Structure 1
């Protein structure tokens, strides 16, 4: 079974849901809270890919795992980060703004960063891997930008219906992602088991580096505690569905094995961030 035909509809629906969540106030946040937005975008778009490159090199990952880890680091968090932000009593409006802006910016940064990573792997690891940049840009526009734009337009023209659709999608989004992860585990169970120690350790290292960098950036920018929690979650959470779509798409890499780091990352990411939420709530109870 080619799981790309499952992940692509899931990704489109999730981006449509994000579009419904957006309104003009989300982008006004850039002018009202430039330091918070800058900290989040720097963490997501610059620090995290750089950290992934360093972690992949540190663990001496083979080319397909190297590119898979880089890929998930280049895909910003989706609507799940907004939910985690709400549960942590963070700044949900900021989370939505960062998710939207980073999704738009990565239409262009993702192809550039992955082209660099593919060139590095080809040059230094002796693996000939070519990235069709043009096709990746087109796929990102079709799968990310257009569903977001349609969701935003739907909210503007049919606000009540949009809210009903948003709630319905919210109920099915997480089970759909779990189904996707389950199918990948079944299809590549032996490969995942054989490499889980390595990929799990690399993913955990990257997540801890990402969340630590998010907390540091928030402090350097002089942000409050609620905003700091938001930045930590936004930098640490990545869009596994998007990474799987790029890795397995016949238009781009056509390599489902490259999507395995995204599955492992998603699993470890949720465990780490659930522990983070527990820590936040314990501190809040003590305070």
Structure 2
């Protein structure tokens, strides 16, 4: 069974569910509080890909895993970061706005960064990895932008319907991701088990340094404690489902091996961020 036919519907549902939590005003927070938005965008769009590239090189990852790590770093913030920010007593409005902004911005930055990364990795390591930019743009628009916009419109014009759908989808989202991770693990358990040591360590370091970068950026921008917590979570939690969809999609990379880092990332991200949320709540 090809897991991509489960990945794509799950990603579409997650993006639609994200749209149900958004409103037009979430994109206007930049005017009211530009500093935390700028800090978050710098962290996710610039800092994370650079960090992932450096770690991939230092850990001497296999080329396909290297591309997988870069793909995670280029992805937008995960919608679950909003829930984590709420539990950690962070700035939920900021979290929602950053998720919304990164989801739109990365539609256009992913093709640019991944084209550069695949060309550089391919030329240095003598492998042929082709990125069909046109197909990637179309897939992002259909599976990311369209469901998000649809969710926003449903919430705006049918708020009661949106609320009912959101209650259902919010309960389904996490089990769907677990199902997705389980399917990939069953299909590629030998590769995942063999590579988990080095790859798991690299991904854990990526998440921890991303969180540390969020803290430094928030201090540099003189943000308050709630905004600091939100930035740490937002930069530490990326949309693993989107990375899996791009990696395994028959229209883009069509390579499940590239998706393996995202599977491990989804696991480590939740474990590390749950520990952080527990510490933040106590403080």
Same-fold status (TM-score > 0.5): yes
Alignment of 1:231-250 (within 5 A): 231-250=231-250
What residue number does 1:116 align with?
116
Cα deviation code 1:160-190 (max 9, x no counterpart)? 0101101110010000001101111111111
What residue number does 2:27 align with?
27
Question: Using the alignment, how far apart are the partners of 1:233 and 1:29 within structure 2?
Answer: 18
Q: Residues 132 and 252 of structure 2 are in contact (CA less than 8 Å); yes or no, is this contact kept in structure 1?
A: yes
**Gaps in structure 1 of 5+ consecutive residues:** none
The offset of 1:17, in angstroms, is: 1.0
Cα deviation code 1:250-285 (max 9, x no counterpart)? 0100001110000111111111111101211222xx
What residue number does 1:160 align with?
160
Question: Using the alignment, how far apart are the partners of 2:24 and 2:248 within structure 1?
Answer: 34
Task: Tell me if 1:277 matches 2:277.
Answer: yes
What residue number does 2:135 align with?
135
Instruction: Name the count of aligned residue pairs.
Output: 283
What residue number does 2:18 align with?
18
What residue number does 2:6 align with?
6
Question: Using the alignment, how far apart are the partners of 1:150 and 1:25 within structure 2?
Answer: 16
What residue number does 2:89 align with?
89
Alignment of 1:1-287 (within 5 A): 1-283=1-283
Q: Secondary structure at the match of 1:64?
A: helix
Q: Secondary structure at the match of 2:251?
A: coil
Cα deviation code 1:43-99 (max 9, x no counterpart)? 000000110000000000111000000001111122111111111011111111100
RMSD across aligned C-alpha pairs, in angstroms? 0.7
Given the two structures, how large is their TM-score scaled by the length of structure 2? 0.99
Q: Residues 14 and 78 of structure 1 are in contact (CA less than 8 Å); yes or no, is this contact kept in structure 2?
A: no
**Gaps in structure 2 of 5+ consecutive residues:** none
